[in-house]
Amino acid sequence: MTSSNAVLIQLIKNLGPGILRVGGNSSDETFWTGHTRSTKTGSDSLTTTDIDNFSAFAKATGWPVLFGLNLGANDPAAAANEAAYVKNDLGASLYALQTGNEPDLFYENGHRTASYTYTNYQTEWATYFSAVRSAVPQVPFAGPDVASNTTWVSSFATAESSQVILIDGHHYNTGPGSSPTITYQTILAPNTKLPAYLQSLNTASLKYNLPFRISECNSVYSGGKAGVSDVFASALWALDFMWTVAENNGQGVNFHGGSSGAYSPFVLSNGVITAEPEYYAMLAFKYGSTGGTIVPATISTSAYNCTAYACINGGATYITLINKDTNNIAFTVQVSRNASVINVARLTAPLITSVNSVTFAGAGVAADGTFKTSATEQYSVSQKSFVVNVPAGSAAVVTVQ
């Protein structure tokens, strides 16, 4: 990532305000050198050149950065040196530092022995915190960036609530990507485990007055799965997932991406960056949520696989209707006051399994990364109830004024 990557920068800007995250397993497998990159520098090294390039990129997007330090190596002195350089380079663009990616899986990932517990992690985290703060006083921290263990989140919040500005965890809908039983229908089915996970994070968040974030997520772990994570079904899953996190008071989400894997919101192929189906879900979420206050939206029947979400912003109400069913659905929308005009912007593709030709509000992303809505449906109404038809395997964002 460099500041010369105009298309990628534009793609990020299209989404409105957000947070970039530098993390993932590679953050515990990449080692700080403290010097510039050369032809002799290994691919498992992180250099000042890499930070300089990324810093310029991040500043060009306007998004602050959640930056992960290598806890796998258990080298507080190197982490402190790295943190000082990162803070100096990013400046106000540094949102927070965190130490270790998915420390609750450190044994499975080969970083620690089977006896590694939260208590061990807490001791190591405190040592890192002390070393980094000695080098960079007052630099903000977040954590614990766990894979799924909410007990670790609760314990961490109890111990370190006065030292961090954010608590976070990860979520993948299913996996691994190598499983032959996973299909696109798998990710469209209701996720019965997600509500309890989010409620647990929200409980810790409210108790200690700290925001929580899903700092890594996607449809299928271990790189995603072709035919599932890279098709239009993933856009419907992602839109529903973002709204579910928002309804549970989450600050936001970070979709795991990169140059490899089927689940990245945008991919680089033959030097060209293209927006994937999941990216269009992010556009739809921005269109239907930015600046708004969430209000309750309920569906009166369980006969269909569908969801509805709503928020208000000024004099407008934004309603997101997601049809994950195989049937077309005529949603009868009831609002609290007479509507005068409604606009419908649709998230759609030729097929639920389409990889290409995804659009939102009648438009696709241009080759230069820009996006502009081109086709919304407008209707005049004068009542508290109206019908919006949403075809099977599609979604719609309805603006009510």
Any idea what the CATH number is for the domain that residue 93 is in?
A: 3.20.20.80
Residue 284 and residue 304 share a domain: no
Q: Which two tokens stand for residue 128?
A: 């890192």
The count of domains in the chain is 2
Chosen domain end from 289, 305, 334:
289
Task: Please name the helix (run of DSSP H) or strand (run of DSSP E) that holds residue 171, with its range, or none.
Answer: strand 166-174
| End-of-domain residue from the set 266, 289, 312 | 289
Over residues 130-162, the pLDDT tens digits come to 999 999 999 999 999 999 999 999 999 999 999
pLDDT score for 35: 95
Q: Are 259 and 341 in a shared domain?
A: no
- Residue 269's pLDDT is what? 80
pLDDT at res. 176: 96
Model confidence at 261: pLDDT above 90: no
Beta bridge partner(s), residue 141: 97
The alpha helices in 136-231, defined as continuous H runs, are 150-160, 184-188, 194-208
- Say yes or no to pLDDT of 7 above 70: yes
SS3 255: strand
309 and 213 fall within a common domain = no
Please say whether the dihedral angle defined by the alpha carbons of residues 229, 235, 239 and 242, taken in this order, is positive or negative.
Answer: positive
Q: What is the pLDDT of residue 272?
A: 87
Report the distance separating Cα 16 and Cα 292, nearest Å. Answer: 13
Between helix 76-90 and helix 48-61 the angle, nearest 10°, is 40
**What is the percent of the chain with per-residue pLDDT over 90, rounded to a whole number?**
91
**Residue 336 above 90 pLDDT?**
no
Do 98 and 191 belong to one domain? yes
Assign 129 a pLDDT band (cuts: 50, 70, 90): very high
Give me the mean pLDDT over the 332-359 stretch: 95
Over residues 307-325, the mean pLDDT reads 96
Read off the DSSP letter of residue 246. H
Neighbours of 291 (CB within 10 A): 12
Same domain flag for 39 and 149: yes
Q: Is the pLDDT of residue 38 over 80?
A: yes
Looking at the structure, tell me whether residues 360 and 232 fall in a common domain. no
Give yes or no: residues 39 and 161 share one domain. yes
Q: Range of 168's domain?
A: 6-289
| pLDDT tens column, 43-67 | 899 999 999 999 999 999 999 999 9
Q: Is 81 helix (H, G, I), strand (E, B) or coil?
A: helix
378 and 311 in a common domain = yes
115 domain-assigned: yes
**CA–centroid distance for 142 within its chain:** 16
Token pair for residue 123? 């001791």
What is the pLDDT, as a whole number, of residue 259? 65
User: Rounded to whole angstroms, how far apart are CA atoms 288 and 310?
Assistant: 8
Structure tokens at 225: 């799965």
Q: What gap in Å lies between CA 304 and CA 247, rounded to an integer?
A: 21
Instruction: Mark whether 241 and 341 lie in a shared domain.
Output: no
Q: What is the pLDDT of residues 227-255, one digit of tens each?
A: 999 999 999 999 999 999 999 999 999 99
Give the C-alpha separation, 248 to 135, whole Å.
Answer: 36
Same-domain status, 62 and 43: yes
Q: Return d(Cα 230, Cα 244) in angstroms, integer.
A: 21
Task: Report the distance separating Cα 279 and Cα 264, nearest Å.
Answer: 8
pLDDT beyond 70 at 172:
yes
Quick one: pLDDT band at residue 39, thresholds 50, 70, 90? confident
Question: Is pLDDT above 70 for 260?
Answer: no
pLDDT beyond 80 at 275: yes
Do residues 124 and 61 both lie within one domain?
A: yes
Q: Are residues 173 and 322 in the same domain?
A: no
* 96 assigned to some structural domain: yes
Averaged pLDDT score across all residues of the chain: 95
Residue length of the chain? 401
Residues 6 or more apart whose Cβ sits within 8 Å of residue 112: 106, 120
Q: b/e per residue, 253-263, with b = 16+ CB within 10 A?
A: bbbbbeeebbb
Question: Given this model, what pLDDT does residue 345 score?
Answer: 98
